[in-house]
Structure 1
Amino acid sequence: MIPHDNDELLARSRALCNMMKDEDDWLKREVLSHAGNRWAFGVIHVLKEGGRLRHAEIRRRLEGVTQRMLTRTLRQLERDGLILRTDHEEVSPRVEYELTPLGEAFLLQIIPMWLWIFEHAEDFRQARDVYSKKPSE
């Protein structure tokens, strides 16, 4: 359950940071990398909208993704339990992917962050512009 009060949220965050072990930090970085990865976010979003899909259908819906990148992304998302891969073991191979409940929860938590980033994209650009004009130290 995510606290709605800012002070409560900060206190909970501080407590989590204090309890975090090295392996938790690694896991956090790995899972959060999906949130910032265009293709991982895209796959999760496509599966939420399209339901159970085959590799080729996912690729058609993600303009610009290469077969290699899609395969790699699907494996990483499956490894972390965000998607489920079903191999029907038929003579003409048929493999389908679908979003798990964990993947859906992940998507619903990440969408507000993506929206916030895009709503503030110009602020980030301006800040970077100001920073780049500062004299080097």
Structure 2
Amino acid sequence: MSSESLKIFAETETCPARNVLDRFGDKWSTLVILVLNEEEKLRFNEIHKVIGDISQKMLTVTLRSLEADGLVSRKVYPEIPPRVEYKLTDLGKSLVPHISSLIKWADQNFSSIMASRSKYNQKAN
């Protein structure tokens, strides 16, 4: 890459890699996408139950971000009490194979990464 082509990484707003990966590359978004990929649609409490250790506030924030980016759709049914369901959009579904590839890579390289971390930490101490 030339120094000219590297300039696209300089600004978060104009860099596709930084802008998009920052939104779904956090601790919870990828997990929510994978959970929603397993079912046609899920309610908030179903997602919360599957993930377990995510707070309700963080799940709300995560779902809103994914909805804002067009990866998740939210449907509110006019019932009492209101019923809300979430599902992946076509855009969200198109992301799943890429996440799956990353998970496969992580699984294949996990022991090497953990060994490297341990070796690094021993040197640092």
Q: TM-score, normalised by structure 2?
A: 0.80
Q: Measured at CA, do residues 133 and 73 of structure 1 come closer, stay the same or move farther in structure 2, by a change above 3 Å?
A: same
Deviation (angstroms), 1:135? 6.2
How far is the alpha carbon of 1:119 from its aligned partner?
1.6
Asked whether the 8 Å contact 1:35–1:110 carries over to 2, the reply is no
Matched, 1:55 2:44: yes
SS at match of 1:95: strand
Residue in structure 2 matched with residue 86 of structure 1 by the alignment: 75
Number of residue equivalences: 120
Matches within 5 A, 1:86-125: 86-125=75-114
**Corresponding residue for 2:14?**
24
Q: CA deviation at 1:113?
A: 0.9
Question: Alpha carbons of 1:96 and 1:88: their partners in 2 closer, same or farther (altered >3 Å)?
Answer: same
Q: Which amino acid aligns with 1:105?
A: S
Following the alignment from structure 1 to structure 2, what is the Cα–Cα distance between the partners of residues 48 and 130? 37
Between 96-105 and 125-134, report the one with greater CA deviation: 125-134
The Cα shift of 1:128 comes to 2.0
After superposition, give the CA deviation of every residue in 1:2-58 in whole Å (9 maximum; x if it has no partner): xxxxxxxxxxxx48x817262232x53343242452x21221111111111111111
Superposed CA RMSD in Å reads 2.4
Are 1:75 and 2:87 matched, yes or no? no
Deviation at 1:60, TM superposition (A): 1.7
| Cα distance in 2 for residues equivalent to 1:80 and 1:135 | 40
Report the CA distance shift for 1:69/1:135 in structure 2 as closer, same or farther (over 3 A). Answer: closer
Deviations 1:77-134 (A, max 9, x none): 1111110111223342121111011111111111111221122111112222222333
Identity, in percent, stands at: 35
In 2, Cα distance between the equivalents of 1:62 and 1:120?
24
